[in-house]
Amino acid sequence: MNHALDIFSQVVLPTNQPIHLFLLVVTSLFRSIPHADGLTAVKHLLKTRISPAVSTLVRLTELVLTLNFFEFLGEFCDQISGVAMGTKMGPSYACLFMGYLEWQMVNRYQGPTPEFYYRYIDDGIGVSTCL
């Protein structure tokens, strides 16, 4: 919380025009990331790495995603989408995926941009002076 307050205290907004506050909330992010899209994001954002090789990191990510079984109501199930809550790589994977989506949007969007935008995994906040 203190980190967020520090960030917000440094934001300088124009005083001569209306400002618009917006929130970003992604529902069920961890369990709804399609494996193929998540692995594409991992490949894209790690492509500049030399060691360990990107292919190794992508394969390890794939193994964590696809070899995830759990018991529910006495039956064993295979999680076929998303990353399991509680998996150590879950927050990093979700953040990386969201970063990839943001990168795609920023590269395609031609309109005005917010004066302030900050995201923590699947929640974001921003301020804009444009409608």
CB-CB neighbours of 41 under 10 Å: 21
Q: Tell me: the pLDDT tens digits for 3-27?
A: 777 887 888 777 788 888 889 999 9
Domain residue ranges of the chain, discontinuous segments joined by +: 28-113
Handedness of CA 57, 58, 64, 67 (dihedral sign): negative
Cβ–Cβ under 8 Å, residues 12 and 129: no
Residue 38 has pLDDT above 90, yes or no: yes
* pTM listed for this prediction: 0.78
Residue-level pLDDT at 72? 87
- Specify the pairing of strand 123-128 against strand 116-120: antiparallel
Mean pLDDT of the chain: 86
pLDDT top residue among 89 and 52: 89
Q: Tell me: the pLDDT tens digits for 82-115?
A: 888 788 888 999 999 999 999 999 889 888 888 8
